[in-house]
Amino acid sequence: MIIAHKIALDLNNKQATYCAKAAGVARFAYNWALATWNTQYQAWQADNTNPKPSETALRRQLNAIKREQFPWMLAVTKNAPQMAIINLGKAFKNFLATRAKYPTFKKKGRHDRFTITNDQISIEDSRIRIPILGWVRMRESLRFNGKILAATVSRRADRWFVSISVDTEDQTHLPTAENQGIVGVDLGVKALATLSNGEVFTGPKPLKRLMTRLKRLSRSLSRKVKGSNNRHRAKGKLARLHARITAIRADSLHQLTTSITRRFHTIGIEDLNVKGMRQNRKLSRAINDMGFFEFRRQLEYKAQMRGGLVKIVDRWYPSSKTCSVCGSIQESLPLSVRE
């Protein structure tokens, strides 16, 4: 089983500067490869004698010209641009398999990350060795035992994190489920989750709770002059607030899914069409604030790690419109009468 452990890094100014440079190199390589891919693909469509673009060919092309045209790339690990182009190749495979949209260009401040292969990193206790940079302190040690596949360093607001992918068979860090029976989970807007045994989890709703402050910081940012120090500081405050909202939501989902998978062996959950639900303009913000997709993702992998089972109920089954007492099915069920 492949597990990723995301750990906060404890960086000084020099180390943070290096990470920012490496993320910039990775972003530039990705955008360069995407632009080159588009150009070469159009040329191949016009004349089939021209070579068809590929991820391997683009990596070789970049290696051939980077010392002359982009010498600043040599200041960071070679994995940064190479893995960025490999990720672009995976993005095109997902697009051709209709699993994702067509790849788009990455933007500074939103896609600050770079990946390092397992042969270029070393981990000892609460430290990780990054090529050229050296040893960097982590806030905690790696929890899982197994073969390290890769490490991705990313930035959220003003903090840097490393996500270490491990291929492990050792799952002793999580005991098996207590097997308190079978439980059904109904997700909603008024309450995040309602269990079939009567338990109700309302959810923190961090976006709703911090919306006033979010609007105030957004207005403050819009009034700052572009390129000024005040705008840079205002942008940092807004990014930290968004990171806090995300952290509160993720923490509550982790606590809830851990509690459910720890107690119940078999869990039933509805196959919600979250994308379609977001088309409702009155409820779209509340639906996004709950994190339905993340709840299901965490529930599935945690149940698998504990030896449990998650059963996906058909999307059209009238679970919400069925009375839990008499079993009758209602024609319509507005939010005002739900309990």
- Mean of the pLDDT values across residues 71-75? 95
- Mean of the pLDDT values across residues 250-260? 94
Q: What are the pLDDT digits (tens) for 276-287?
A: 888 888 888 888
Q: What is the DSSP string of 151-183?
A: EEEEEETTEEEEEEEEE----TTSPPP----EE
Please report, rounded to a whole number, the percentage of residues in the chain having pLDDT higher than 70: 98
Confidence (pLDDT) at 338: 65
Tell me which of 218 and 322 has the higher pLDDT: 218
Which residues touch 268 (CB under 8 Å, ≥6 apart)?
Answer: 182, 183, 184, 185, 196, 310, 311, 313
Whether the per-residue pLDDT at 332 is higher than 60: the answer is: yes
How many beta carbons lie within 10 A of that of residue 258, not counting itself? 15
At residue 172 the predicted structure's pLDDT band, cuts being 50, 70 and 90, is: low
Tokens of residue 262, six digits: 């720890």
Confidence (pLDDT) at 173: 61
Q: What is the DSSP string of 220-269?
A: HHHTSPTTSHHHHHHHHHHHHHHHHHHHHHHHHHHHHHHHHHHH-SEEEE
Whether the per-residue pLDDT at 168 is higher than 90: the answer is: no
Strands (E), 79-141: 113-117, 122-124, 127-130, 134-138
Please report, rounded to a whole number, the percentage of residues in the chain having pLDDT higher than 90: 66
Residue with tokens 């339905």: 292
Confidence (pLDDT) at 34: 96
At residue 253 the predicted structure's pLDDT band, cuts being 50, 70 and 90, is: very high
Average pLDDT, the chain: 90
- Mean of the pLDDT values across residues 143-158? 92
Confidence (pLDDT) at 170: 66
Confidence (pLDDT) at 282: 84
Whether the per-residue pLDDT at 217 is higher than 70: the answer is: yes
Nearest-CA neighbor of 295 among 252, 239, 245, 339?
A: 252
Tokens of residue 323, six digits: 């009375």
Tell me which of 169 and 34 has the higher pLDDT: 34
Q: What is the pTM of this model?
A: 0.84
Confidence (pLDDT) at 278: 82
Whether the per-residue pLDDT at 177 is higher than 80: the answer is: no
d(CA 46, CA 43): 5
Whether the per-residue pLDDT at 320 is higher than 80: the answer is: no
Contact 52, 44 (CB under 8 A): yes
Tell me which of 218 and 277 has the higher pLDDT: 218
d(CA 220, CA 4): 37
Three-state SS annotation for 273-289: CHHHHCCCCCCHHHHHH
At residue 94 the predicted structure's pLDDT band, cuts being 50, 70 and 90, is: very high
Nearest-CA neighbor of 302 among 187, 176, 141?
A: 176
Q: What are the pLDDT digits (tens) for 105-139?
A: 999 988 899 999 999 999 999 999 999 999 999 99
d(CA 324, CA 303): 26
Contact 136, 6 (CB under 8 A): no
Contact 296, 186 (CB under 8 A): no
d(CA 234, CA 230): 6
Whether the per-residue pLDDT at 221 is higher than 90: the answer is: yes
Tell me which of 186 and 84 has the higher pLDDT: 84
d(CA 31, CA 218): 28
Confidence (pLDDT) at 134: 93
At residue 38 the predicted structure's pLDDT band, cuts being 50, 70 and 90, is: very high
At residue 171 the predicted structure's pLDDT band, cuts being 50, 70 and 90, is: low
Whether the per-residue pLDDT at 333 is higher than 90: the answer is: no
